[in-house]
A and B are shown apart, each in its own frame.
Chain A
Amino acid sequence: MRKYLAFFRTRFNMGLQYRTAAIAGLACQFFWGAMAILAFKAFHDTDPSSFPMSLPAMSSYIWLQQALLTLLTMGGMDNEFFSVIESGNVAYELCRPVDVYGMWYSRSAATRVSNALLRCVPVIVIAALLPAPYGLSAPPDLLTFLTFLLSLVLALAVINAMGMIVYMITFHTITPRGVRLIAVNICDFFSGDIIPLPFFPAGFKEFVELLPFSATANVPLRIYSGDLHGPEMVKLMLLQVFWAAVLIAVGKLIERRELRRVTVQGG
C-alpha cells in the first residue's frame, strides 16, 4: 500500500507544476459553464413547467461539473500512459516489481485529483459569488454534503477503473486516438455531461441509470443539487460500489490477458 501512496504523491506534485495551463483552462471552463446555464435558462423561460430540476439546482449542477471536470470525466485520462504504450517505454514500467494495475490506478487517480484541485477552488469560489439563480448554491444540509463527498469518492473509483480499461485496450490497438475518443463520447453522454440525466426521456433514463457510465459524475452532482435523495439515492450509490468492484475486476482480467502477449513497440 505504501508504494502506491508514493506513486500517488509524486504524480500529484507533478500535476501542480503546470499552473499557467491551469489558469487558461479555468477561463475556458468558466465561459463554458456560463453559456450552458444561459442555454438551459432559455429553455426554462420558454416553459418552466417542463423543467425537471429547479433552476438554482441546474446552475449548481453545471458549476460543479465544470469544477470537477478533470476528476470525473473520461477526458481526465492521463496522456502519459498512452504515449508510454505507443513509444514502447512501457517495457520499463513492466520491469518494476509492482503490480502494473495497482501502480497505474493510483497514478491516474492522482493525476485526476491534482488537476481537479487546482481548477475547482477558483471555479467554486467565483460561482458561489454569482447571484441566484445563476450561481452555485449551498447544499440543502450537512448530511447531503457528506453523502455528496462519499459519492464523489465512489465516482472517482468508477471513472478511474473505466479509464484503466481504456489503457488496457490500448495495449492491444497501440494507437489510442480512436478507442479513446469513442470511450469519451459514450461515457460523457450517459453520465449526463451533455444534458443531465433528469432531462432524458422517462423510461430511457431509468435504463441509463443502471449503466456503469451513470455511476460517475451523475450521482454526486445530483446529490449535491438536491435532485437525488431518499431510497433512489441509496440505490444509485450501491450501484456505484457494484460498478467500481466489477470494473476493477474486469480491468485486472484484461491486464493479465494483454500482458501475457504484449509486444513492445520500438526500442
Chain B
Amino acid sequence: MKLYLKYFEIHLKSAMQFKGSFFATIISQFLTAFTVFLGITFMFGRFNSVDGFTYEEVVLCYAIILMGFGLSQLFASGFKVFDSMIGNGQFDRILCRPRNEIFQVLSQRIDFVRLGMLFQAVVMLVYSLVTCPVDWTFSRVLTVIFMIAGGFVLFSALFLLDGSIAFFTIQGLEVMNVFTYGALEHGKYPLSIYGRKMLTFCTFVIPYALIQYYPLTYVLGRTERLWYMFLPIIACLFVVPCWIVWRIGVSRYKSTGS
C-alpha cells in the first residue's frame, strides 16, 4: 500500500508537468459525461417517464454507473495499455520484480483525467439524492454504496479481462470496448428498458443488472426484497473467471522479444 501511494505521488507529479493539456483533458472528460446527461435531460423534456422510471430516477441510475466506471478508469486503466506493455517488453521487467504482477500493472498508470467524469457523477448523485422521492433509510444508502463499489469491481474485472486477451492476441481487441464503454453508455437507463432478453443476458452472462437494475428497484422502493441489496456483492464474483484467464495468460506468456 505504501508503494502504491508512492506511485500515486509520481503519477500526480508527472500529470502536473503538462498542466494545460491535463486540464483540457479533464474538461473533455467532464464534457463526455455532461453531454450524455444533457441528452437525458432533453429526452425527459419531452417524455415524463420511460418504462416507469422518472427523470430523477434515471439520473440516479446514470450517476451510480458513471461513478463505478470512472473509479475503475482512474485506478485500473493500466490494463487498457497492457497490450503495449507486452508489445514493448515492459511486462518482462514486471515479471522480474518481486511483487504481484496485477499490482504492478495497476500502478503503472493512474489516470487522473477521469476526475472530470467523476465530478459530473458526484453532481448528479447529489442532485438525485436530494430530488428523488425516496425515504433514505440506512439500508438504501448502503445499497447505493454497494452499487458503486460493485460497478467499480465489475468494470475493473472487465478491464482485467481486456488486458488478459492481449496475452493471446498481442494487440488489444476493440470489441472489448462494447462491454466497458458500451455498458456505460447504455447503462445510463435502467437495463429493463432494453427488454427481457437483454436483462437476462446482463444478469447471467455479464452481471451488469446485479449492480444496476435489481438493487436500483430496491432503492426506489419498487420491491421489498431486501436481498436485492446484496446482489452487487455477488456481481463481484465476476472477477474470478477474469482472474483465471489472466493466470492462464501469465503462465503461457512468451516474451515478444523486444
Contact = CB atoms under 8 A, between A and B. Distances in A.
A181 interface: yes
Contact of B25 (A36, A181, A186): A181
B51 interface: yes
A194 B36 contact: yes
A21 interface: yes
Interface stretch (A41-49, A54-62, A124-132, A218-226): A41-49
B36 A179 contact: no
Number of chain A interface residues as a range: 35 or more
B66 to A, nearest CB: 15
B28 interface: yes
B28 A185 contact: yes
A194 B174 contact: no
B24 to A, nearest CB: 3
B243 interface: no
Contact of A32 (B48, B178, B195, B198): B178
Nearest to B45: A201
A24 B23 CA distance: 32
A38 interface: yes
Nearest to B190: A42
Contacts of A36: 186
A41 to B, nearest CB: 9
A39 B42 contact: no
B22 to A, nearest CB: 8
Tell me if B's interface is mostly helix, strand, loop or mixed.
Answer: helix
Interface stretch (A65-73, A155-163, A170-178): A170-178
B50 interface: yes
A207 to B, nearest CB: 13
The CB with the most chain A CB atoms within 10 A, among B23, B28, B194, is that of B28
B28 A43 contact: no
A35 interface: yes
A42 B50 contact: yes
B35 A194 contact: yes
A127 B182 CA distance: 19
A200 B193 CA distance: 21
A25 interface: yes
Contacts of B25: 177-178, 181
A43 B42 contact: no
Contact of A177 (B21, B49, B177, B195): B21
A79 to B, nearest CB: 14
Interface string A171-215: 001010111111011101100001100011100000000000000
Contacts of B45: 201
21 contacts: A24-B174, A28-B174, A28-B175, A31-B178, A31-B182, A38-B193, A42-B50, A42-B194, A43-B47, A45-B51, A46-B50, A51-B46, A52-B46, A177-B21, A177-B24, A178-B23, A181-B32, A185-B28, A185-B35, A189-B39, A195-B39
